[in-house]
Structure 1
C-alpha cells in the first residue's frame, strides 16, 4: 500500500460515513477499509483502457475534478498529489486540502517525467503545450482551499513557493505496531518502490550490478521492462506483494535502498519500523525522517570529505545518505554502510519511528481539521 493510500485509509477511520470522490477507481484495487466507503469516480473512469493509460489524460484532469459537486457538504477534505485540491466548493463549504505534493508533473518533476530538451520527445512536446495552462489552473484553483495541510516541511515550502500559501505539517502515518525490530538478515538488500522515473531505480540497479550486490525489488510500474533489461544476475524482481509479505522482506533484508528524491517517503519509515537502516538520497522528505550516520555537508564541503558521526547516548543513527543522485555516490554510500553496519541498533531504529505511528496522525489530523473548520465557521465570509 502506498503512502497516499495509507493516509486516505486513516481519514476513512476518522470519517467512517463519508463518500470518496476520485478521478479513477478500479474496484478491489485498494484496502477493504477504503472499499467499504461509497466511491464515486469521475467520467474519465469510463474511458477505455484507462487503467494503464491514465497519464495521457492529464490535460483533462482539471475539467473532470471541477465537475464534481459538493453543494450538500459543510466540510470537504481532499487528499491531493495532483488535482484533488482543485475541486470547486460553495462559498459556505470548508475545504481542507492535505497535500502530498504540488502537481509534480507540471512543476519540479516536468523534466523527469517527460524528458529533457536534449532529446526529441513527442510526450514532452505535447505536454509543453498544456504545461503553462495547467500551472495557471493549479495556482488559481487555490481560491477554493480554505486551509492547507502538508505532508512534510519539504512540501510546505513548495506550497509556499508555488501557491503563495502557508500550510501546517502532519506527517503521513506508518502502522508502527504491526512491525517488530528484526535482528537478523539473509544477506540481501531491498527496494520497495514504484517504477517511476523520479524513483531512480535505474541508479540503484547500476550500483548493484557493479558491486554484484544481492538486491530484491518489490514493485511495478511504467519503467519495468527497461529496468529488467538493465538488471544483472544478482538482482531479483518480485513484482507487487501484499503488505504482510513486504513486512517479511523488510525483516530479512540487510538494508533498504532509497535513491529517489521524495516529498516525504513512507518506505524508509516502514523499513526503520522493522529495525532496518536506510541508504537514501539525502534530500527532500528523507531529511525529515532519517537520522544519518554521515552528517549533511556544509556549504562548500565536498561530499567525500564528510566524517562519520558516531551515535551518542542521546542520539540514534538510522541510515546513510548519499548526496548526489549518481551510481558512484550510491556505491560509496553502500560501502560506508557496510563498514559501519554494526553501529546500527535495530531496537533504537524502530523506536525512532514511533512518533510517526498512525495513532499520532489520526489525532493530529482530527485536531487540525476541527480547528480549521471552526475557524472557517467564524469567518464573516462563511
Structure 2
C-alpha cells in the first residue's frame, strides 16, 4: 500500500510543527473530492508527528472538537478562537473560499501560508496570487499550465515562493475490491452528468444503475425501476457501498480539474467512461474511455460493448495499470518536505 514518507525520513522537520488549516467543510459530513484530497494530504503530516488541526469556517453541525483519520477538526462554534490558533501556528493552510481571509491573517501574524488550488477558475489563482503565499499546490500538470497563463495575463500578480504538483492522493488498498454489476454515477447533479445517467437508464432498462447522492448541487435522481439510489456516502464507506457494487463508473462531467472518484474506481479495475475534460484526460490517461457528454448514443454503445467479457477484461487491465502509475508516495513525500521547509 502506498503510504507517506515516515516521520524518520530524511528531510523531515527537526521538531513537530503546528499546522493550522482553514477549510469551509470537512468529512464525515461533507464528502467531496476536494475535501478528501485534503484528508489524504494531512494524514501523512500527522504520521510524521506534526500537530494538524482543521478549523471549519462555514459548514458542519458538530458542536465539539472531533477527530477524523487522526486529524483534529474544530467546529464552527470554535471560530472565535481561530486567531489564537493562528498566533501559535507554524504553518497555515487554506483552500477555495477560505484563502483570502486566511491570507490576511497570515500576513498580519507573519505566518507562512500554503494554498491548495483545486480548480483552474480565475478566482482560485487570483486569491492565491494576492501576496504572501509561501507554497502553492496544483493538482495536475494542466492546472500548473493554467497558472502560468494567469501570471502571464496578470503580471502584477504575486507568484508564490514555491510551487508543487500533488495529484489527489488515492491509497489504492483503501478502495480496492471485487467490482459489482452496476453502472454508477457519483454525485448526480447536472454538471456531473445526472441527465446523462437518466437518459441511459431509460434507454437500457436491462441494466442496473446506481445513483449516488452527492455532497453538493441539485441532484437528478431518476424514479425508474432499474435505478437504485445510494444516499450520501462517507469516504471510508466508498469501497463497500459503491465500488463493490460497480461494474462501470460514469464521469460525464462538464468540468473536472482532476477527478478523484475515477482514480478510486481504477484501483479495482473498474472502467471509467468519461467526458474528455483536460483534468480527466490527465488523471485517467490511457485507462479512460472518453465520450462527449452530449453523445448519449456513444455512451450507450460503449456500455454495451463493455458487456463483452473480453472487452471488459482489457479495460479493467488498463484501469489497474493506471492505478499503479498513480501511486501517491512520491507526491506526498515532496508535499511533506515542502511544508516542513516553511
Indicate the residue corresponding to 1:169 in structure 2.
165
- Greater strand content: 2
Alpha-carbon distance between aligned partners in 2 of 1:273 and 1:69, rounded to the nearest angstrom: 38
Q: Larger relative contact order (C-alpha < 8 A, sep ≥ 6)?
A: 2
Residues 197-234 of structure 1 deviation map (CA, whole Å, 9 limit, x = unaligned): 4212212221222232321112234422xx23x44332
Q: CA deviation at 1:170?
A: 0.8
Unaligned runs of 5+ in 1: 47-64, 108-134, 293-317, 374-382
Indicate the residue corresponding to 1:366 in structure 2.
336
Indicate the residue corresponding to 1:39 in structure 2.
74
Normalised by the length of structure 2, the TM-score is 0.70
Distance 1:160 1:335, change over 3 A: farther
Alpha-carbon distance between aligned partners in 2 of 1:345 and 1:136, rounded to the nearest angstrom: 35
Indicate the residue corresponding to 1:239 in structure 2.
231
Distance 1:31 1:205, change over 3 A: farther
Unaligned runs of 5+ in 2: 1-30, 153-158
Q: CA deviation at 1:174?
A: 1.0
Indicate the residue corresponding to 1:160 in structure 2.
148
Distance 1:286 1:42, change over 3 A: farther
**1:208-219 map, 5 Å:** 208-212=201-205, 213-219=207-213
Q: Contact conserved, 1:277 with 1:319, CA < 8 A, in 2?
A: yes
Q: Contact conserved, 1:97 with 1:145, CA < 8 A, in 2?
A: yes
Q: Contact conserved, 2:53 with 2:71, CA < 8 A, in 1?
A: no
SS of match in other structure, 1:143: coil
Alpha-carbon distance between aligned partners in 2 of 1:36 and 1:140, rounded to the nearest angstrom: 24
**Aligned residue-pair number:** 290
Q: Work out which of the two has the higher radius of gyration on C-alpha atoms and give 1 or 2.
A: 1
Q: CA deviation at 1:348?
A: 5.4
Normalised by the length of structure 1, the TM-score is 0.64
Indicate the residue corresponding to 1:17 in structure 2.
51
Alpha-carbon distance between aligned partners in 1 of 2:229 and 2:124, rounded to the nearest angstrom: 40
Q: CA deviation at 1:250?
A: 1.3
Indicate the residue corresponding to 2:303 in structure 1.
334
Indicate the residue corresponding to 1:3 in structure 2.
33
Indicate the residue corresponding to 2:96 in structure 1.
81
Q: Contact conserved, 1:282 with 1:323, CA < 8 A, in 2?
A: yes
**1:85-164 map, 5 Å:** 87=102, 88=104, 89-90=106-107, 92-102=110-120, 138-139=126-127, 142-162=130-150
Alpha-carbon distance between aligned partners in 2 of 1:147 and 1:198, rounded to the nearest angstrom: 30
Give me the CA root mean square deviation: 3.6
Q: Contact conserved, 2:180 with 2:244, CA < 8 A, in 1?
A: yes
Provide runs of 4+ in structure 1 moved above 6 Å.
none
Alpha-carbon distance between aligned partners in 2 of 1:338 and 1:242, rounded to the nearest angstrom: 30
